Amino acid sequence: MRAQFVLSEMGIGLRRNLMMTVAVVLVVGISLTLLAGALFARSQVNASKDYWYDKVEVSVFLCAEGDAAEPCNGRGVTEDQRQAILDEIHALPQVKTVFYESQAEAYQHFKEQFKDSPDLVNNTTPDQLPESYRVKLKDPKKFAIIQSALEGKPGVNSVIDQRKLLNNLFKILNGFQGAALVVSGLLVVACILLVSIIIQVSAHGRRRETQIMRLVGASNLYIQMPFLLEGAVAGLAGGVLACGMLAMFKWGLIDHVLAQNINSTKFIGWGAIGSIMPLLVVVGVLISGIAAFATLAFSKALRV
């Protein structure tokens, strides 16, 4: 009978404050989805770094005839200089593999890369593209050693680390991740405030009932339980909503857009999504439940 009464009072409170309860559910759902998305984004960025950093190379561009850059001063690399550079590369213990790309090969790659820009391709000739050595390192982080050993040597135009191009992309992704964390944090604060408002409104609307329950000897926990359950149920619904939104994000964006267009990266699987869903539900219940408990405990008007 007591449990039935508590559940009945909880239902009454939810119905009386239906619009605010829906607002709590939406705020909890969106905030938890953003939080989970930010955590998964961090994992995805770290996995992508490991994947791409293992594949990046150091490009050692050689001087071409007529190159006005200071290391070349209009002089192209000679055969002796080319061989000396190659020997220097092979002598470095940090080098894993190295291959030579001629101007003709560089031009072929250029045409493939910019095949959608025919004007650019037509206005470029093979002699405008430098020959180079493409060096794969055992540890991509050792680029500085390679750079100091080769930069400035006769016949070397420049030494380029391809990681710099990826770092800019990863910085952008990390920025989005940080923004998602900030927004989710603000939404959690909004959720706590909404739950507090719901509890206060609900308690004010039932103040006569709570006074009668106090007079007949009901305990504080028994009187406060319907209010606590109202917050917990709203948080539970928000956690379930977050799980649904996360599943839609995985199915719609990752599986049917990114995975089908980017084959070179392994994306987060359903196992990782499924493992975090129970946590989202628990966190949703805890956020709303704790907010309701704190409101009842610290509000003088609600000390029933």
- Per the structure, the complete domain to which residue 10 belongs is given by 2-52+167-302
Phi and psi (nearest 5°) for 111?
-65, -40
Which parts of the chain register pLDDT below 50?
A: 1, 301-302, 304
Amino acid at 122: N
Same domain, 172 and 37: yes
Interatomic CA distance for residues 276 and 178, integer angstroms: 20
Vertex 243, ends 291 and 22: CA angle to 5°? 50
Q: Are residues 274 and 179 in the same domain?
A: yes
pTM: 0.60
Is 202 in the same domain as 105? Answer: no
Residues 223 and 237 in one domain: yes
The answer to whether residues 39 and 115 belong to one domain is no
Asked which of 94, 128, 161 is the last residue of a domain, the reply is: 161
Q: How many domains does the chain have?
A: 2
Whether the Cβ atoms of residue 34 and residue 184 lie closer than 8 Å to each other: yes
Are residues 255 and 185 part of one domain?
yes
Domain boundary residue, one of 136, 161, 186 = 161
> Do 47 and 61 belong to one domain?
no
- Taking CA atoms, 271 is separated from 248, 266, 268, 279, in Å, by 15, 13, 8, 14
Q: What is the spatial distance between Cα 76 and Cα 155, in angstroms, rounded to a whole number?
A: 7
Pairing of strands 132-137, 95-101: antiparallel
* Residue 1, pLDDT score: 43
CATH number at residue 116: 3.30.70.3040
At 197, list the tokens. Answer: 């408002």
Are 14 and 41 part of one and the same domain? yes
For residues 46 and 107, membership in a common domain is answered with no
Tell me, what's the pLDDT at 228? 80
Q: Among 161, 179, 199, where does a domain finish?
A: 161
Indicate whether 118 and 177 sit together in one domain.
Answer: no
pLDDT of residue 165: 64
Report the pLDDT value the prediction gives residue 300, as an integer from 0 to 100: 53
Same domain, 120 and 198: no
Q: Which residues pair with 132 in a beta bridge?
A: 61, 101
Residue 117: the pLDDT is 74
| The pLDDT value given to residue 205 | 66
22 and 149 together in one domain: no
